[in-house]
Amino acid sequence: MIECTLGQFCALVLGTALVSLVLVALFYEWRDGRREKTAHQHVYRCERCARVYVGSRTRTVAKCPRCGAMNEAIRT
């Protein structure tokens, strides 16, 4: 049997819980980031300067950040 002090046991339990919480937080951050990219953005291609950019899903047209032209979404 492995012997340890009460302090070592408590440190082991708290350390395991902390690592588990960090892993769960990282998982949700990763999952929400993927969902955010796919669910809330349109892809636009500027007809004037050919720049490709992303914008909010709530708008059907968006202003080009390079030249200022208004463009319709090419992919939703």
Min separation Cβ 17 and Zn ion, Å = 51
Q: b vs e for 4-16, b when ≥16 Cβ sit within 10 Å of the residue's Cβ?
A: eeeeeeeeeeeee
CB 50 to Zn ion: min, Å: 7
Q: Which of residues 40-69 bind Zn ion (CB under 5 A)?
A: 46, 48-49, 51, 64, 66-67, 69
Does residue 31 interact with Zn ion by CB under 5 A?
no
Distant-in-sequence contacts of 50-56, Cβ < 8 A, 24+ apart = none
Q: Residues touching Zn ion: how many (CB under 5 A)?
A: 8
